[in-house]
Amino acid sequence: MSFLRQYRRYAAPDLTRYLPFIVEGHHVGWVKPEVAATLAKDPAAFVVTADRVTMHPDLVTPEARSAAMARTLARLRAEGRVPGWRDELYPVNQAFGETPLLVMERAAAPLFGVLAYGVNLNGFVGRGWEMKVWVARRAPTKSVDPNMLDLIVGGGQPLGLSPAENLLKECHEEAGIPTEIAARAEPVGLITLLIEAGEGLRVGQQFNFDLELPVSFRPLNQDGEVAGFELIPVSELMHRLRSADEFMYDIALVLIDFLIRHGFIGPEEPDYLPLIAGLRRPIPFQRVPA
Amino acid sequence: MSFLRQYRRYAAPDLTRYLPFIVEGHHVGWVKPEVAATLAKDPAAFVVTADRVTMHPDLVTPEARSAAMARTLARLRAEGRVPGWRDELYPVNQAFGETPLLVMERAAAPLFGVLAYGVNLNGFVGRGWEMKVWVARRAPTKSVDPNMLDLIVGGGQPLGLSPAENLLKECHEEAGIPTEIAARAEPVGLITLLIEAGEGLRVGQQFNFDLELPVSFRPLNQDGEVAGFELIPVSELMHRLRSADEFMYDIALVLIDFLIRHGFIGPEEPDYLPLIAGLRRPIPFQRVPA
């Protein structure tokens, strides 16, 4: 089986079936028509027309927009439309590092199809075909993808931390990696996501790091979100990515990127080019007509 | 200065100013109108209309198309339109590994805007900020980019060899790297090119490899195409990529990809995202209307 099976687990979204979500003249997301219909019930917050959903132009500051969004999301949450509420605020913008146009609850990002940022760590021991990769089994209580396989460390990218700072924090919380070891992690690029999930559109940009761990290191979860850890030989990891869907969708992509960067998947792989192209699909924010 | 200076050395091509080049119903390149006008003088080989250049549909085999192309290119060469003739045949197709629709002289690839494949080697010693990267100064006699800085090893991807086999051959010819060392090179992904150069459109896909060389190794060019080699500390390499245009355009991109994969350019770099996106721009072959 081809590694491409991991890319095919979700349909490529048909963006023509969504309405662009516009804030201050910037296209920052995509909303399903049925979500747009309920947003239309908050006319002070959203202007819903046949071809777009716009945050009300009277909301001229990020604070005013964030407050209006929070009121609407409280209602949608009460209606059961925002599963897995996290009490984590994410910035909404077109590109990482830009001043947020507003902030909103992380769990509602797919409802609005806004770009969500994250960090991931590929933690491994050994080199070449002797390499083994640490993976985590997600706790059965996780709201997203319970029991699936995950990286040893990863998480959403909150406001106020750099990706490297966030990674250090997650290394501690998720796997008990001491700061002096975690600080050796190296940034190695990013992947993008654009998939239609049950709840809406998942649009993502995730910063990836590699860390060669000491052979003696054993991860120890601190936050109760992990059921256990496993150290998988790289050849077995490749077999499992080719033959089954045990890993979270985005994590499978991060691992394929890792396998490509480390030479385990090379030009002799028939799908080398589509595998590489599929890791960083452009996020097609449109120019907004006046 | 930003590393993005390297991406801005050539204008992004305006593809609407080219005619699509169509072979057997496949869009495989782009031709300037003035080139199309001279191709129209070979009506047995090319059908030139207002919106496209098509290889004549009576040429039903790759052999027939390759022979017709060779006749036309011999004329264009005599007219001085194909600088740097190399006597190397390149396959023409939409994706690497597909059966070639025809083969044609490498030096004419930009005239037809067809996809040209290549291999590159990042040869380095040391790790972390102690790392140094081997680079080559191109011989003043090279037809393309004489005297500019290049990788220690790189070259076009000919028919009949895999990228890994081609790399071994180039490692010997260009830098005298013994096969037992060169065989340790690891594939690490690819970059794409899409730029308007003087002679036409350069469309490329290059397979990249990394090789940690022994500290004692000294490159020795075998084919006379290199004026000399230099071992550059990674911090100096970064300074030179930010501040000057000493490297060939595509090589600057390969080095930026290397610096990103090895953590020297990270998310704290303001242009991290456009730098990564610019390394693998999609090649926008169009669907051909019937």
Q: What is the CATH number of the domain that holds A58?
A: 3.30.750.160
For residue A96, what are the domain limits? 19-112
DSSP string, chain A: --GGGGGGGSPPP-GGGSEEEEETTEEEEEE-HHHHHHHTT-TTTEEE-SS-EEE-TT--SHHHHHHHHHHHHHHHHHTT-STT----EEEE-SSTTSPPSEEEEGGGHHHHT-EEEEEEEEEEESSGGG-EEEEEEEPTT-SSSTT-EEESEEEE--TTS-HHHHHHHHHHHHH---HHHHTT-EEEEEEEEEEEETTEEEEEEEEEEEEEPPTT-----SSS-EEEEEEEEHHHHHHHHHH---B-HHHHHHHHHHHHHTTSS-TTSTTHHHHHHHHT----PPPPP-
Residues within 8 A of A (CB atoms), B 185-214 only? 186-190, 205, 207, 209-210
Residue at B269 is within a domain: yes
- Contacting residues of B for A129, CB less than 8 Å apart: none
Residue at B1 is within a domain: no
Torsion angles phi and psi, residue A140, rounded to 5: -65, -15
CA-wise closest residue to B186 among A127, A62, A195, A166: A127
Q: Is A183 part of the contact surface with chain B (CB cutoff 8 Å)?
A: no
Residues within 8 A of B (CB atoms), A 87-146 only? 95-97
Single residue among B90, B112, B134 that ends a domain in this structure? B112
Reported as a single tens digit per residue, the pLDDT across A73-101 is 999 999 999 988 999 999 999 888 889 99
Query: pLDDT-based confidence at A11, cuts 50/70/90?
Result: confident
Same domain, B161 and B204: yes
The pLDDT score that the predictor gives to residue A289 is: 59
Same domain, B67 and B155: no
Same domain, B64 and B139: no
Joined tokens for residue B242? 């930010």
Give how far B212 is from chain A: nearest CA, Å. Answer: 13
The pLDDT score that the predictor gives to residue B289 is: 59
Enclosing H/E stretch for B91: strand B89-92
CA-wise closest residue to A151 among A181, A177, A180, A130: A177
Reported as a single tens digit per residue, the pLDDT across A130-167 is 999 999 999 999 888 899 999 999 999 988 899 999 99
Residue at A289 is within a domain: no
Same domain, B273 and B138: yes
Residue at B289 is within a domain: no
Q: What is the CATH number of the domain that holds B137?
A: 3.90.79.10
Same domain, A213 and A186: yes
Torsion angles phi and psi, residue B263, rounded to 5: 85, 5
- Contacting residues of B for A258, CB less than 8 Å apart: none
Residue at A7 is within a domain: no
Residue at B101 is within a domain: yes
Single residue among B65, B97, B112 that ends a domain in this structure? B112
The pLDDT score that the predictor gives to residue A148 is: 96
Same domain, B145 and B226: yes
Give how far B205 is from chain A: nearest CA, Å. Answer: 9
Q: A108: phi > 0 → left, psi -120 to 50 → alpha, else beta; which?
A: alpha
Residue A199, pLDDT above cutoff 90 = no
Q: Is B277 part of the contact surface with chain A (CB cutoff 8 Å)?
A: yes
Same domain, A78 and A211: no
Same domain, B100 and B134: no
Same domain, A129 and A46: no
Residue at A100 is within a domain: yes
- Contacting residues of B for A163, CB less than 8 Å apart: 266-267
Determine, for residues A273 and B95 on separate chains, whether the beta-carbon distance falls below 8 Å: yes
How many domains does one find in chain B? 2
The pLDDT score that the predictor gives to residue B180 is: 97
Determine, for residues A273 and B207 on separate chains, whether the beta-carbon distance falls below 8 Å: no
Same domain, A68 and A127: no
Q: Crossing angle, helix B249-261 and helix B272-279, to 10 degrees?
A: 120
The pLDDT score that the predictor gives to residue B290 is: 52
How far apart are the C-alpha atoms of B55 and B65, rounded to whole Å? Answer: 7
Q: Is B261 part of the contact surface with chain A (CB cutoff 8 Å)?
A: yes
Same domain, B124 and B251: yes
- Contacting residues of B for A190, CB less than 8 Å apart: 272-273, 276
**For residues A177 and A171, is the Cβ–Cβ distance under 8 A?**
yes
The pLDDT score that the predictor gives to residue B160 is: 87
Same domain, B89 and B74: yes
Using a pLDDT cut of 90, give the percent of chain A over it.
87
The pLDDT score that the predictor gives to residue B182 is: 98
Residue at A11 is within a domain: no
* pLDDT tens, residue order, chain B (290 aa): 799 999 999 888 999 999 999 999 999 999 999 999 999 999 999 999 999 999 999 999 999 999 999 999 999 999 999 988 999 999 999 888 889 999 999 999 999 999 999 999 999 999 999 999 999 999 999 888 899 999 999 999 988 899 999 999 999 999 999 999 999 999 999 999 999 987 789 999 999 999 999 999 999 998 888 999 999 999 999 999 999 999 999 999 999 999 999 999 999 998 999 999 999 988 988 876 55
Single residue among B79, B112, B145 that ends a domain in this structure? B112
The complex's ipTM works out to 0.86
